[in-house]
Amino acid sequence: MANVRTQFVCNACGGATVKWQGQCPHCSAWNTLIETRAQSASQHRRASATDANNAVAIAQVTATEPQRLLTRIEEFDRVLGGGLVDGGVVLIGGDPGIGKSTLLLQALAQVAMGESVLYVSGEESAAQVALRAQRLGIESTQLPLLKVLAEIELETIVATIEAERPRVVVVDSIQTLFTPTLTSAPGSVSQVRECAAGLTRLAKRSGVSVVLVGHVTKEGSLAGPRVLEHMVDTVLYFEGDTHSAYRLVRAFKNRFGAIHELGVFAMTNRGLRGVHNPSALFLSQQGDGKGGLVPGSCVMVTQEGSRPMLVEIQALVDAAHVPNPRRLCVGVDPQRLAMLLAVLSRHAGIATYDQDVFVNAVGGVRIDEPASDLAVTLAVLSSIRNRPLTRGLAVFGEVGLAGEIRPAARGLERLREAAKIGFSTALIPKANAPRKPIEGLEVIAVESLAEAIHQLRLR
């Protein structure tokens, strides 16, 4: 009889502990530890010297470029790094209801025009999937190669894939799958991992391209997609505000392409449509949409993957009535905000210790790059002064701890995009100043925060 040991596995990060605790010692999440059975090490075989395999010189390995398969949904192909890859495993994460199933069904329908594909649904019945296809305007009668399987048992799914040999398989979602070889419930870390590992092995063995859907959950009842990130080739996340029509698909890891690519979609009543020119989407509708008309608003030029985009940053600074003033960020890193407030205090003499500070990136977009620092700082300052920034102003640049303004990558592209959208002034780091003037754009290049404040007359 195998020696069965229990351990407690965190549903958020997958870390294991021997004893139950209220808080996961690895990721500090609360109430996420679930009891699971671990196989004891004695069951594992020890390799002997005779088992050794020959390592090969890398030059002797024949490596060919992987075959690509376009989904013909341009925005999606771009985030994938040029389409799906045979034998590749893609994980698409996102909040429930954000559009994962919709996008993948649309993509499969496109691929099914020439290749056989399989949509494995663990959440919806085949009839529900067919109904969705109808709603999306997919002529399923003309697509005999688009097949649906409503099933949650891993072994049956693997056997079906091996029998049907489709080119692409979508599994919606990985959290509903289960394998009877494990005793834990579907959605637990061990089930999710084991099922994903089984499908990954199948993909590598048979060359089928696998797309896994993973729901991001806030509480620990389901294991999140994070526990799978290391296993798969590509990780994409859906972002965006479910209340707005726009959805962003961002690549976080891609063994076959660039990361931080961004696909922009609009949710319509007939599914997701790609937005080909998204650069002006994330400006608020205030005034002329070019920023600088209301206090506390500053437009930044961000570079998302291969495309520059204009995003409005809004700030509200208000007297705090509690001992610990609040710092709340939506779409911007709160740690960086704290740092920028310290820089403001030290290098511009503007204290916020008794003020609540709220910062928001318009349209539910999330900005990771440090080049947003200058926009955040200026939006905060504009709110403190209750004075709008110059009309038609776009900015970018990183703010250093010494109050210096550091350059951002691909400055020229950002400036060109701002000019194209109709911005007339750009406040940028000195090192990003273009050699030749850009038509219609006045460029103010600064070296320090103090200089930027002086130039914008925010003293």
Sites of contact with ligand TYD (CB under 6 A): 94, 96-102, 132, 135-136, 267, 269-271
Q: How far is the CB of 215 from Mg ion (least distance, A)?
A: 8
Which residues lie below 8 Å from residue 120, measured CB to CB, with a gap of 6+? 149, 150, 151, 157, 160, 169, 170, 171, 172
Q: How far is the CB of 439 from ligand TYD (least distance, A)?
A: 40
Nearer to Mg ion, 101 or 352 (CB): 101
Q: Is the dihedral of CA 290, 294, 300, 305 positive or negative?
A: negative
Q: How far is the CB of 334 from ligand TYD (least distance, A)?
A: 26
**Scanning residues 87 to 116, which ones bind Mg ion (CB under 5 A)?**
101
Q: How far is the CB of 170 from Mg ion (least distance, A)?
A: 10
- Whether residue 22 contacts residue 30, with contact meaning beta carbons closer than 8 Å, is answered with yes
Nearer to ligand TYD, 92 or 315 (CB): 92
CA dist., res. 334 & res. 340, Å (int): 10
Nearer to ligand TYD, 97 or 334 (CB): 97
Q: Which does 231 bind (CB under 5 to 8 A by kind): ligand TYD, Mg ion, none?
A: none
Q: Which does 419 bind (CB under 5 to 8 A by kind): ligand TYD, Mg ion, none?
A: none
Q: How far is the CB of 173 from ligand TYD (least distance, A)?
A: 8
CA dist., res. 100 & res. 240, Å (int): 12
Q: Which does 309 bind (CB under 5 to 8 A by kind): Mg ion, ligand TYD, none?
A: none
Nearer to ligand TYD, 135 or 201 (CB): 135
Nearer to Mg ion, 101 or 360 (CB): 101
- Say if residue 383 is exposed, middle or buried (CB neighbours under 10 Å; 0-12, 13-18, 19+): buried
**CA–CA–CA angle 236, 188, 45 (5° rounding):** 100
CA dist., res. 125 & res. 176, Å (int): 13
Q: Which does 99 bind (CB under 5 to 8 A by kind): ligand TYD, Mg ion, none?
A: ligand TYD
Nearer to ligand TYD, 25 or 96 (CB): 96
* Residue 346: closest CA among 446, 450, 454: 450
- Whether residue 35 contacts residue 11, with contact meaning beta carbons closer than 8 Å, is answered with no
Q: Which does 94 bind (CB under 5 to 8 A by kind): ligand TYD, Mg ion, none?
A: ligand TYD
Nearer to Mg ion, 175 or 432 (CB): 175
CA dist., res. 17 & res. 148, Å (int): 39
Q: Which does 102 bind (CB under 5 to 8 A by kind): Mg ion, ligand TYD, none?
A: ligand TYD
Q: Which does 205 bind (CB under 5 to 8 A by kind): ligand TYD, Mg ion, none?
A: none
Does 175 participate in binding Mg ion (rule CB under 5 A)? no
Q: How far is the CB of 281 from ligand TYD (least distance, A)?
A: 17
CA dist., res. 211 & res. 209, Å (int): 7
**Omega of the bond leading into 173 within 30 degrees of 0 (cis):** yes
CA dist., res. 234 & res. 237, Å (int): 10
Q: How far is the CB of 247 from ligand TYD (least distance, A)?
A: 9
For 195, 196, 212, 228, the CA distances from 176, given in Å and listed in that order, are 10, 11, 11, 14
Parallel/antiparallel/unpaired status of strands 84-85 and 33-39: unpaired
Q: Which helix (H) or strand (E) holds 17?
A: strand 16-17
Nearer to Mg ion, 173 or 352 (CB): 173
CA dist., res. 392 & res. 267, Å (int): 29
Q: How far is the CB of 353 from ligand TYD (least distance, A)?
A: 42
What is the distance, to the nearest Å, from the Cα of residue 363 to the centroid of all Cα atoms in its chain? 15
Q: How far is the CB of 172 from Mg ion (least distance, A)?
A: 6
Which residues lie below 8 Å from residue 112, measured CB to CB, with a gap of 6+? 143, 145, 146
Nearer to ligand TYD, 103 or 378 (CB): 103
Q: Is the dihedral of CA 205, 206, 208, 213 positive or negative?
A: negative
Q: How far is the CB of 185 from ligand TYD (least distance, A)?
A: 20
Q: Which does 96 bind (CB under 5 to 8 A by kind): Mg ion, ligand TYD, none?
A: ligand TYD
Q: How far is the CB of 267 from ligand TYD (least distance, A)?
A: 5
Parallel/antiparallel/unpaired status of strands 297-304 and 271-274: unpaired
Beta bridge partners of 399: 405
Nearer to ligand TYD, 269 or 324 (CB): 269
Q: Which does 190 bind (CB under 5 to 8 A by kind): Mg ion, ligand TYD, none?
A: none
Q: Which does 137 bind (CB under 5 to 8 A by kind): Mg ion, ligand TYD, none?
A: none
Which residue number places its CB atom closest to Mg ion?
101
Q: Which does 136 bind (CB under 5 to 8 A by kind): ligand TYD, Mg ion, none?
A: ligand TYD
Binding site for Mg ion (CB under 5 A): 101
